Chains A and B, each alone.
Chain A
Amino acid sequence: MTYCSQTFTLLLTTKLRIGTISSMSGSQSEEVFDLAVIGAGVSGASIARRLSMYDIQIALIEKEADVSFGTSKANSGIIHGGFHHEPSLLKSRLELQGNLMFDQLQRELHFPFTRCGILVAAMDEEEMKTVQYLYARGRKNGAIGIELCSRERILDLEPKLSSDVVGGLHAPGGGIIEPYRFVFALVESAQHNGVRLITDFEVKEAHHREGLFQIDSAAGDTIYSRYVVNAAGLYADEVSQIFAAEEFQITPRKGEYYLLDRMTKACPGKVLFPVPNSVSKGMLVIPTVEGTVLVGPTAEDIHEKDDLSTSSSKLKSIFDSARQMVPKVSTKDVITAFSGLRPALAEGDFYIEASSRVPHFIQVAGIQSPGLTAAPAIGEYVKDILKEEGLTLQERNDYDPNVQRVPRIRNKNAYDIDELIKENRAYGNIICRCENISEAEIIEAIRRGHDTLDGIKFFTRSGMGRCQGGFCTGKIIEIIMRETGKNYSEVTKRGKQSTVIRRSLCEQNK
């Protein structure tokens, strides 16, 4: 029952978000945070949650309307197997360490995750040599359980592979995850343990005086903090500059993906990597935890950090490449295309250290692949840096690592659902038929702070299926308005100016 009151306060903070901040910047009760984490992607969320274990005041700041709306939203969703990077790199160490933390995290946070394993498929003997090299590197990294596979072994492990495969690598510790659901759960857990989430807060200016950072948003709000972690993803370079810290450049590297309907005959049981060669990296075929399939990603350095456009020009080459590995992959099964941007640093490794220019300012930049896998370890690593930098970390005695599971009707049997409906009628109202989502789950998403169409989509999966929101969007708009008291003109796809409805006929005669 304690949880219920927690949900209630969450709802309140969501609604009163702006009011709370402005009263803080006013004269009365200027609340000061010990730590401000900038960026509520998977890195920032992991850091905030890890630090919420201690008796300090933490603000998690996000420029978008919801968390996980940047790089963490659109990526391959892979928990990597520890053979992709050289042992000398920080990212290799954190990848391996992070990977091992996911089982416990899942027990606490209930996000969709499964260790389905990863295969690298060699299509000729030349590629098999590269695979041997990957195997040796994985061994050196300490990847658990990796093995070399003969043709028979690999086809046995993954019958969807082309019969042209000659062998490959198997990393059983690798897996798949729904990245946004992971971030949502991390943030919810952090909030549950006292972290203040502040969305729609784009850092515009920062000043450091008397051991305190003053951070101003583009909208004119201000917060104060003693320590700052820069986990701003694609914008980490700009945030660093705002704080007068190190100068570096983040290059957005675009990856385009295609999502295939769960009815596809191409759905593999494991994550399938081709062997990278000098000409092309090749396309992955990735099963998602929810049964759909991802094909991609491309890798293209671009200039604009918000250019998430997709192009049709690469469609054919992407599918040709994927089909070499999995012949059943077909463009007919495509339900949507999307792009994600990786925040790439020229050096290629993660850049996680205390600023040498600005005290109490920690850089967490260049977190591209395997950032999702490494995130829990990044939380740990940054905790140690903060401690070294003098932040007093005293464990709270009321820390609760668990978040409450949202009952979902998907995959539940009719008798259990009958019981659920008796407790809460909204479970009987099916809103999204492609993914089997009830009204109760939509309401729960909104109560947990996800009140945009995209936020609800990522929390519940409504609108993610084959109809892509054709049936449910109208109903979800109504539920958002009813639950939040918002006007139609305030309902957005993903915050800011992404309004869904422009006018109302009913208003004309009021």
Chain B
Amino acid sequence: MSPDKNTKEMICIVCPIGCHLQVSTDGEEVKVTGNRCSRGEEYAREEMLSPKRVVTATCRLEDPQHPRLPVKTDAALPFEQIEALLAEVYSLSVKPPVKVGQVLIEDFAETGVNLVSSRTIQTQ
């Protein structure tokens, strides 16, 4: 999903109300309507200019009881980097012990975002 240069409709996810936003861009300038609060505007701006997501996945774990280790990014990752990160996660193999929060991939693609384990697995 690449940011549209003109207008776009989106649903605000900041709170459960889910305002239907109309967002238009002109260069760096973003115009938002349909929002009920300023947080909606902020959300729309970020979604238009640099959408980011926290990514969760699993990588291989060398443990017969737990063949997969859940992992996550420790911050939101630029949208266009997600696919490359997933490819790297799926080729990653971790040997226990591993601790929750342990960094598995550091500063992925110079984004400053780390991939960390989201579970502790002791050695058998």
Direct contact of A and B (CB under 8 A): yes
Q: Which residues of A contact B (CB under 8 A)?
A: 505-506, 508-509
What are 14 of the A-B contact pairs (CB < 8 Å)? Answer: A505-B58, A505-B60, A505-B68, A505-B90, A506-B60, A506-B67, A506-B68, A508-B90, A508-B91, A509-B60, A509-B90, A509-B91, A509-B92, A509-B93
Contacting residues, chain A, for B60 (C-beta < 8 A): 505-506, 509
Contacting residues, chain B, for A508 (C-beta < 8 A): 90-91
Separation of A257 and B90 alpha carbons in the complex (Å): 45
Q: Which residues of B contact A (CB under 8 A)?
A: 58, 60, 67-68, 90-93
Separation of A495 and B58 alpha carbons in the complex (Å): 30
Contacting residues, chain B, for A505 (C-beta < 8 A): 58, 60, 68, 90
- Smallest Cβ-Cβ distance to A508: which chain B residue: B90
Separation of A506 and B93 alpha carbons in the complex (Å): 9
Contacting residues, chain A, for B90 (C-beta < 8 A): 505, 508-509
Other than the known A505-B58, A505-B68, what 5 A-B pairs have Cβ atoms closer than 8 Å? A505-B60, A505-B90, A506-B67, A508-B90, A509-B60
Separation of A509 and B90 alpha carbons in the complex (Å): 7
Which 4 pairs show the lowest CB-CB distances between chains A and B? A509-B91, A508-B90, A509-B60, A509-B93
**Shortest Cβ distance from A481 into chain B, in angstroms?**
12
Contacting residues, chain B, for A506 (C-beta < 8 A): 60, 67-68
**Shortest Cβ distance from A303 into chain B, in angstroms?**
46
- Smallest Cβ-Cβ distance to B92: which chain A residue: A509
Separation of A228 and B68 alpha carbons in the complex (Å): 52
Separation of A508 and B67 alpha carbons in the complex (Å): 13
- Smallest Cβ-Cβ distance to B61: which chain A residue: A506
- Smallest Cβ-Cβ distance to A507: which chain B residue: B60
Separation of A509 and B57 alpha carbons in the complex (Å): 15
Separation of A505 and B90 alpha carbons in the complex (Å): 7
Contacting residues, chain B, for A509 (C-beta < 8 A): 60, 90-93
Separation of A506 and B91 alpha carbons in the complex (Å): 9
- Smallest Cβ-Cβ distance to A510: which chain B residue: B60
Separation of A209 and B105 alpha carbons in the complex (Å): 71
Contacting residues, chain A, for B91 (C-beta < 8 A): 508-509
- Smallest Cβ-Cβ distance to B87: which chain A residue: A508
Separation of A509 and B88 alpha carbons in the complex (Å): 10
Separation of A508 and B87 alpha carbons in the complex (Å): 10
